[in-house]
Each structure stands twice: as C-alpha cells, then as structure tokens.
C-alpha cells in the first residue's frame, strides 16, 4: 500500500473515531486528507471499501506482532498465548475497532457484514489452532467448542468489567482469568467426552473460502478475456495485453499479490482507454476492477 493511500486511511480512521463511521462523509475525508475526489475513488470505490481496507491493515499488523511473540518460544507456552490475547484486545481498544464493529452491525450493509463474519471465523480458527498448541492434540476434538465458548466468555468479561471499573479494568487480569476458566472447561469436556461441534467444520468453512477463491479465478479469467477483446482494435494493443497479463499473473499465481502495482496498472489502463475514447473497453475495465475489489474485500486474494 502506497504512503499516500495509507495517509488517507489514517485520516479517515481519525474521523471515524471522532464522528463515527456513519456520520463521516466522503467530503469530510477529502477535507481531512487533502486529496481530490478523483484520487479518493482511484483508491476506494466507496467509503465501505475504505473501512474494510482500514480494518484489514490493522489486523495484518496485529498478525505480524502476534507471531513475533512466538519467535524462539514454545507454542504450548500459556503465558505467550495470554500475551497474544492481550495484544489483540489492546489493538482493538487503541484503534476503537469495537465501535466500528457495532456500526457495521447496525448498518445492514451486506458487504460489511460479510466481511465482519469472515473476520470472526478467522478469529475462531486462530483460537482453535492456539488451543491445540496450548492444551494438546489429545484434546483437539473438543477445542472448537471451547474456542467458541472462550470468545463469548472473554467478550462478556470485558464488557461487564468495563461497566464496573471503566478504563481501570485490567485487560491482563481479565484475560488470565478467562484462560484459567476455559482450561477447566477443556479438562471437563475431554473427560466426559462431550462435543457440540466437530472441528472438521473448520475444514468445511475453509473449503468454502477456497471455493469462493475458485469462483474469483473464473470471474477474473472471463473479465480479462472480455477486456482483451474490447481493446482488440485499439492502438497500443500489445501494451494493453501485457498489462492485463500482468494483472492476471499477480492475482492468480502470486501468493501475495502486490496491491500497489495492480492499482497502478488499473489506473494506467483507465487513463489510456479514456484518452482513446474506448467506451466498451472502459466498461469491461470497470467490471474487472469490480471483480478484483470484491475479492480483496472478502479476503480471498
């Protein structure tokens, strides 16, 4: 992500914290970041997509910092797990993410709600994997249930401790208490052999995401072909084809597509096509961009 785009996200984040997401207009963001409306829409097709980019950026950084805590340490170390949980909660608090999540829930926007749902599934998946590290493979059968229970337990403990003590509520104390309680639950359900949800469901959920990625690859291929046909008689055709081949290669073959390069190529294509007045190709380019943005927002890229 280029520096200017990151500055726009940071400016918008500050406004979302001060005014709320719904109350912040695109014009507010333009005024606060000092960019034009054209530049904004070159970066984000909507305010919703900007919010998704903001949350995604924060959690990518969180994941890096969370993994750094494990470097040179045993994955079974419960103290490291507690520190990871504290880091997650402090990240949410520092960035006021819970307020943004609440606004998403009342927005009735299907794209935002789907994004939030995928984030929750990723959190459950991470908790399940870390529970397996901490409590052992022999307890794995029961750990999806326990991960779900723990998430609810932690959220409610945070909520009511904050209600009782306000900002003075100890995140460390709440996390440690919750981890200790869930450890007893893990032992109990493993002894009584009680299970609600089979961890195989996580594989199904991941498979559903893979299916969504396959659908994206199909849409990408069809959009690329359609755009190539639309520019077939345009001057500079070879350059268009090379740029489109680059986009397809980045998104279908790279494990970490270089977003800033893809954005640059899309912008170059858009500039050339507008200059040539190629309306059919512009329409196909808009469809290609929509496919790419849809995939990016759902976390399949």
Please compute the mean of the pLDDT values over residues 48-77 and round it to a whole number: 91
Are 243 and 275 contained in the same domain?
yes
Provide, rounded to the nearest whole percent, the portion of the chain with pLDDT above 90: 41
- For residues 144 and 201, is the Cβ–Cβ distance under 8 A? yes
Half-sphere exposure of 97 (CA within 13 A, CB side): 19
Mean pLDDT across the chain? 84
Q: Are residues 134 and 238 part of one domain?
A: no
The answer to whether the beta carbons of residues 243 and 265 sit under 8 Å apart is yes
Rounded to 10°, the helix 110-135/97-107 angle is 130
Q: Which of 87-101, 143-157, 252-266 has the lowest mean pLDDT?
A: 252-266
Among 167, 192, 217, residue at a domain's last position: 192
The pLDDT value recorded for residue 115 is 84
Looking at residue 139, its pLDDT comes to 95
- Is the pLDDT at 50 greater than 70? The verdict is yes
Return d(Cα 246, Cα 229) in angstroms, integer. 16
Assign 144 a pLDDT band (cuts: 50, 70, 90). very high
Give a yes or no: residue 263 inside a domain. yes
Shared domain check, 138 and 91: yes
Q: Does the structure show a pLDDT above 90 at 128?
A: yes
The b-or-e profile of 68-86 (16+ CB within 10 A means b, else e) is ebbeeeeeeeeebbbbbbb
Q: Examine the fold and report which residue of 157, 192, 227 is the final residue of a domain before the chain moves on.
A: 192
CA distance 267 to 137: 49
9 in a structural domain: no
Distance between CA 130 and CA 126 in Å, rounded? 6
pLDDT at position 300 over 50: no
Does residue 254 register a pLDDT over 60? Answer: no
Q: How many structural domains comprise the chain?
A: 2
The last residue of one of the domains, among 159, 192, 225, is: 192
pLDDT of residue 295: 64
288 against 162, higher pLDDT: 162
Lowest mean pLDDT among 2-11, 103-112, 165-174, 274-283: 274-283
By mean pLDDT, which of 28-37, 235-244, 270-279 is the weakest?
A: 235-244
- Domain of residue 290: give its range: 202-297
- Answer yes or no: do 259 and 226 share one domain: yes
Does 27 have pLDDT greater than 50? yes
Mean pLDDT within 101-130: 86
Contact 215, 291 (CB under 8 A): no
Place 301 in a pLDDT band, splitting at 50, 70 and 90: very low
Query: How confident is the model at residue 247, as a pLDDT?
Result: 78
pLDDT tens track for 202-224: 887 776 565 566 666 777 777 77
Question: Whole-angstrom Cα distance, residue 23 to residue 189?
Answer: 46
State the pLDDT at residue 207: 65
Q: Is 25 left (phi over 0), alpha (psi -120 to 50) or beta?
A: beta
Could you give the CA distance from residue 23 to residue 19 in angstroms, rounded to a whole number? 6
Structure tokens at 153: 């337990």
Query: Which of the pair, 144 or 112, is modelled with greater confidence?
Result: 144
Cβ pair 101, 182 in contact under 8 A? no
Q: What is the DSSP letter of 139?
A: G
- State the pLDDT at residue 36: 87
Give the C-alpha separation, 255 to 213, whole Å: 12
Say which residue the tokens 């900002």 belong to: 167
Tell me, yes or no, whether 142 and 221 share the same domain: no
- Angle in degrees, CA 86, 89, 90, rounded to 5: 85
Name the more confident of 287 and 191: 191
Q: Tell me, yes or no, whether 132 lies in a domain.
A: yes
Tell which wins on pLDDT, 159 or 42: 159
- Please give the pLDDT value at position 235: 55
What are the pLDDT digits (tens) for 256-293? Answer: 566 677 778 778 878 877 777 777 777 777 777 766 66
CA distance 144 to 206: 14
Say what the pLDDT of residue 11 is: 92
For residue 194, the SS3 value is: coil
- Alpha helices by DSSP H, 166-199: 171-192
211-235 residues labelled b (16+ CB within 10 A) or e (exposed): eebeebeebbeebbebbbebbeebe
């Amino acid at each position: 992500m280029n520096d200017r785009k990151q500055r726009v996200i940071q400016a918008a984040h500050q406004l979302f914290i001060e005014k709320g997401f719904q109350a912040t207009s695109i014009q507010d963001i333009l005024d606060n970041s000092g960019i034009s409306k054209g530049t904004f829409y070159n970066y984000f097709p909507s305010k919703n997509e900007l919010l998704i980019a903001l949350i995604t950026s924060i959690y990518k950084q969180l994941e890096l910092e969370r993994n750094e805590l494990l470097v040179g340490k045993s994955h079974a170390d419960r103290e490291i797990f507690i520190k990871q949980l504290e880091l997650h909660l402090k990240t949410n608090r520092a960035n006021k993410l819970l307020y943004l999540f609440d606004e998403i829930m009342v927005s009735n926007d299907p794209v935002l709600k789907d994004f939030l749902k995928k984030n929750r599934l990723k959190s459950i998946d991470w908790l399940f994997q870390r529970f397996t590290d901490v409590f052992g493979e022999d307890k794995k059968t029961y750990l999806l249930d326990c991960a779900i229970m723990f998430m609810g337990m932690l959220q409610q403990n945070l909520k009511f401790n904050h209600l009782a003590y306000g900002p003075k509520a100890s995140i460390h104390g709440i996390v440690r208490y919750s981890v200790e309680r869930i450890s007893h639950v893990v032992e109990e359900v493993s002894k009584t052999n009680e299970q609600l949800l089979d961890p195989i469901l996580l594989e199904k959920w991941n498979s559903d995401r893979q299916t969504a990625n396959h659908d994206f690859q199909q849409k990408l291929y069809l959009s690329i072909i359609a755009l190539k046909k639309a520019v077939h008689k345009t001057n500079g055709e070879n350059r268009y084809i090379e740029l489109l081949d680059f986009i397809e290669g980045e998104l279908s073959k790279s494990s970490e597509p270089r977003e800033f390069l893809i954005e640059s190529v899309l912008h170059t294509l858009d500039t050339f096509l507008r200059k040539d007045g190629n309306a059919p190709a512009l329409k196909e380019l808009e469809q290609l961009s929509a496919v790419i943005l849809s995939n990016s927002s759902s976390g399949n890229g």
